[in-house]
Structure 1
């Protein structure tokens, strides 16, 4: 019995012993779990560059990648809550830490848990000589903080640690100062200098060809070729006076720089540099307007040109060509999509309000009020108001004045026959050169300055033309059809009605030419256009008043010595007078209607100098309402006050246009006083009145993309067009070649060296 009891007690003791061990292991596991959670929490809360992290995981034990990460993160700048009561005499206040110290001292870091300040480089590279107050305990004394910072910065240990941190991950100073390393760098840079010099000369040749619209490629560009092209000819010419370039061309094996691939890459880089400059100017400009037009190039591809108009930092009006865009077809959707895509790159998000105008030629696909390009663009840019090109408006005015009267329409049709008659035969032209000594320009139904030249030439050389046609008619050297046509022209020039219309339009056309040239100026604004149109209408009225004196006037006959031949009369004098008055009335009526300022253009009347006296008596509130409605960014109340002051000041009345008034305000530093007026003037000046610049771009397109170069790629076309149209801007960029070289070198890895070490 006794033995059995002892065995039971022994078994109980063993069970209790195992139970205690089990509980112990459970407690250990719970503690480890808590420690791991704490470590993870600390790692999440404390970044690797924090003081706590650097204490728990010293910098010396970290891998090189982890050290580089800490260096790139830099000193940790947590919130430091140090409140130190201070008493100076009778004054009591509390000192607190100012976070500006982190900006003033790049080496300073802090610990939010201990509310102390430390030295970041000294914590990373601490040793036995390190000051423990900056690496272990931290600084908490704000009263003497400035003095202790200065003392610590002067210490040798701190300077050494800063150098170690700066050189971490870099080539050592000893290696950098090594003679061999320095010699290699010097040789590399000398080679770069030589390569950049050679490439700069090649860039000059490309710029020259682009500026003067010359074909760069030759028929055969081999060394032995007799026709290598203008570009190679220019390079050889420069090589004859530049020894470095000559040596490069003779000895180069890696990079010669004259291949078509290099030409295209350089053109791409030049285009990118010039576009960047344009976008920089657009970014600084207050408002921007666009001009767009489409045409068909020599390869029957539809090309849309985009021109940007704005005022630059020097207060000059700029109309910059941006690019030609190749379109699949000339419909509203395709054109608007292309324009909007480019505008998103030119005007990034947040700058859409800068686009205040869009000008087109008036074609239905462009000006449609519901589905046209201008409507689709304005849906995205609400302030981009549409302006119908006024040069095209003038053409429409003259077409209307001459097409609805049969006699006038026949007159211009007959005028076109003169040039056509002589262009069909060299024998006819030879007689013209001998007897008239002046060629006859062709007429045009859309370019009224061409019609003006035709009218003036026939008027001034009428008698010589009569003798010329009579000579051709009486000569046996011409066939019967030529003789009949020459006889018809003689009768036409002797017809009284033809001579009357010739005299009438000889008086009208010079005024049309003047207005046409005024409408094609780059710096013309709505105020200038309004004044020019009023002057044109007054001159037309004077001609109309003088119509009775033109009837029966023999002035158009010219200085003829022999007696004048008897004239054929097909219209009575009263009929001639009525037709002449009808022509003048039609021109004035349609000019008044088409050139009237409506909608957003009414804003021009607010700053029209000849209306200041009228506005002074009665302020144009209705025009102001329309202006503010069109441009909501303007402050109506302040603008009205500023305009009232301008109307009362007689000195401002002498300004002939918006640009003149704008320059006066800027020159006298009044842009802050008349802030809203300057904004309105900026809008008026930026708004294009014509698309003449687009037409000039098309002329450049025709000269660049010719029949012999009809397969030219679009990027190359844009680059050559940019170099031609904006050659003045390219010359104005003083480091243009350097910028091109930088872009050229960064395009891809090149075997030739163009970047300095």
Structure 2
């Protein structure tokens, strides 16, 4: 009888805690502050979290009775909020790790299943059909293959080099693409929507302004692509980057200075229709503004590149070369970029690192830093460890940092600037990964289990 009563109490406590978790998830998912200025029962501004709890209590008699009669565990305090946020963050992290661990197993099972379904020698057809499946119509694809004999590359809103390929293909095959659209428009074999779309593309490709800017960007994009490919190399330094930027800006400046007023038709003499009220002078003015924007952005983005050469000082595959000839120029540039470093001490420490075979075995900055920590060498190689910390915390891409800062701006406002780091991390996870959290099965149950086992509690959450 006592076990039955205990489990009934656990059911009630879990039901109440699940409703409280829903309130925390709602606040985190919509970047709302949990706490208010005054959270007492008589306050006019108790905060969004308590407001949601009271709203659910008015719809749930069990929760309402719990809030009125609870003496051991009410579940609305700041401490409980922080503990729930910590449990939710841990559950989300564990789920991500589980998904990554099961990825290979799922892929293997899928390949085995496909091997059973598809007969021998037919796997290539599946790949080809998956590629062609992005086309809306096989008839359009057939006309494109027949007239143009070249597929148009896809585009991506986040990768500019995809647009570069599209621009170059459209320029190089402009006559054939125009003839393809005219064939679709005039053949009478397509539905009205396709005919209207083809007619719109015909008018666009015959437009003088479109042809002008297509030609302009066809001249600009090869230089942009070349700069992009060169910057992807791993063995680059500030001197190399400076030379690249200088050649790039010189090429763009040459294009800017050589824009004639009648460039819209270019070398391809296609009939054009002037559909917009934009004359040659306005076209030339806009083209110069485009070039000026590219030039100013290139100079601004690469105005500080000296810090890049510091990575060569701690590049493992260069240690043997550095032991023979110390990289004085790289050290000078690094100290100039990071004045906090002691040049003389850093040089002494690096000389010892270059001559030690154990350090040479480290494959990267993270591995080398971990080696220092594992062997308690932070106090011995203070300057090297400082430089390593700078290198390992320098982001390689800005997308993740920009996303995190956008979330931070919404969560940690001026009125919430005293929020602790753990609470901020959990709220950021709830905001950024809210779609993932909704997809986790039994998310509330997992959080309750972790909350119940986090520490010894007077309230009962575990069944007997």
* TM-score (ref. length: structure 1): 0.28
More helix by share: 2
Decide which structure has the larger Cα Rg and report it: 1
More strand by share: 1
Higher relative contact order (Cα pairs below 8 Å, separated by 6+ residues) = 2
